[in-house]
């Protein structure tokens, strides 16, 4: 199944993607995680991305599209994928369509996670992620690690993302509304969008998502 996950910062895309990818046996491809891995490894790509991310802006398409394409080729897109954080504007959505067209492939669904803004702010303020892998995600109230400040999965140190400060979150939300939300209409025109509420327990949201995806693959 080929799925795009869309929703505001802090909606729970990474959290849900981990479960959905496992349930559906497809790779989870997160452009945010790829950028953070490049930053922690000190690569040229990471250096290019960092200032944009810290300011809450999108990394330029020239950098992002190539990185996403490389990762999808590596993942063998033919057998499906779950994209999290890509595409993030209409130009990226068009680039993805062109990429898939060249391979004779199509998306099966765009899962749109809906969460009120005050909840998003609470989720982001309490989020802590692992130094070793930004896909290891916790929350000080909603998903506490067994030992404070330590990742349950790998024992790494937990910290707060640089772009999770209040001012940057406001900027990221504005960027979401102006640049990312238009892709929902773009995909609605293709009949691909399934919108679900991302409120409630993590496993309830996963169940809702699995139901919404049922029969689309």
Q: Catalytic residue numbers?
A: 13, 88, 127, 161, 172
Cβ 31 vs Cβ 64: under 8 Å: yes
Specify the DSSP element, H or E, that contains 72.
Answer: helix 61-75
Instruction: Give me the 180-199 binding string for ligand AP5, x by CB under 6 A, dash otherwise.
Output: --------------------
Q: Which does residue 154 bind out of Zn ion, ligand AP5, none, counting CB within 5 to 8 angstroms by kind? A: Zn ion
* Residue from 128, 136, 139, 172 binding Zn ion (CB under 5 A): 136
Distance between CA atoms of residues 123 and 16, nearest Å: 14
Instruction: Give me the 3-42 binding string for ligand AP5, x by CB under 6 A, dash otherwise.
Output: ----x-xxxxxxx---------------xx--x-------
Secondary structure class of 81 (helix, strand, coil): strand
154 binds Zn ion (CB under 5 A): yes
Query: Applying CB under 5 A, what is the total number of residues that bind Zn ion?
Result: 8
Distance between CA atoms of residues 9 and 40, nearest Å: 21
Specify the DSSP element, H or E, that contains 212.
Answer: helix 202-213
* Residue from 46, 126, 145, 156 binding Zn ion (CB under 5 A): 156
Nearer to ligand AP5 by Cβ, of 2 and 88: the residue is 88
Distance between CA atoms of residues 158 and 89, nearest Å: 31
Beta-carbon contacts of residue 35 (< 8 Å; ≥ 6 apart): 45, 46, 49, 53, 59, 67
* Residue from 2, 71, 136, 172 binding ligand AP5 (CB under 6 A): 172
CB hemisphere CA count around 61 (13 angstroms): 12
DSSP per position, 123-148: HHHTEEEESS-TT-EEETTTB--SST
Is there a binding annotation on residue 170? no
115 binds ligand AP5 (CB under 6 A): no
Q: Output the known binding site for AMP.
A: 31, 36, 57-59, 85-88, 92, 161, 172
* Interacting residues with ligand AP5 (CB under 6 A): 7, 9-15, 31-32, 35, 52-53, 56-59, 64, 85-86, 88, 92, 123, 126-127, 137-139, 142-143, 163, 172, 201-202, 205
* Interacting residues with Zn ion (CB under 5 A): 130, 132-133, 136, 151, 153-154, 156
């Amino acid at each position: 199944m080929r799925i795009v996950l869309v929703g505001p910062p802090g909606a729970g895309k990474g959290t849900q993607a981990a479960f959905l990818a496992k349930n559906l046996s497809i790779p989870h491809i997160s452009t945010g995680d790829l950028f953070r891995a490049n930053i922690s490894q000190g690569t040229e790509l990471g250096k290019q991305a960092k200032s944009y991310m810290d300011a809450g802006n999108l990394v330029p398409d020239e950098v992002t599209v190539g990185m996403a394409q490389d990762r999808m080729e590596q993942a063998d897109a033919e057998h499906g994928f779950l994209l999290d954080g890509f595409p993030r504007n209409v130009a990226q959505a068009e680039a993805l369509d062109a990429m898939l067209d060249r391979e004779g492939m199509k998306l099966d669904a765009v899962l749109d996670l809906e969460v009120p803004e005050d909840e998003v702010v609470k989720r982001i303020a309490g989020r802590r992620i692992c130094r070793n892998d930004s896909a290891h995600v916790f929350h000080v109230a909603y998903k506490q690690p067994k030992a404070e400040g330590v990742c349950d999965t790998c024992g790494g140190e937990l910290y707060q993302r640089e772009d999770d400060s209040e001012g940057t979150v406001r900027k990221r939300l504005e960027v979401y509304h102006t640049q990312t939300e238009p892709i929902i209409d773009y995909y609605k025109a293709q009949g691909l969008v399934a919108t679900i509420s991302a409120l409630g327990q993590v496993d309830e949201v996963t169940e809702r998502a699995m139901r919404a995806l049922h029969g689309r693959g």
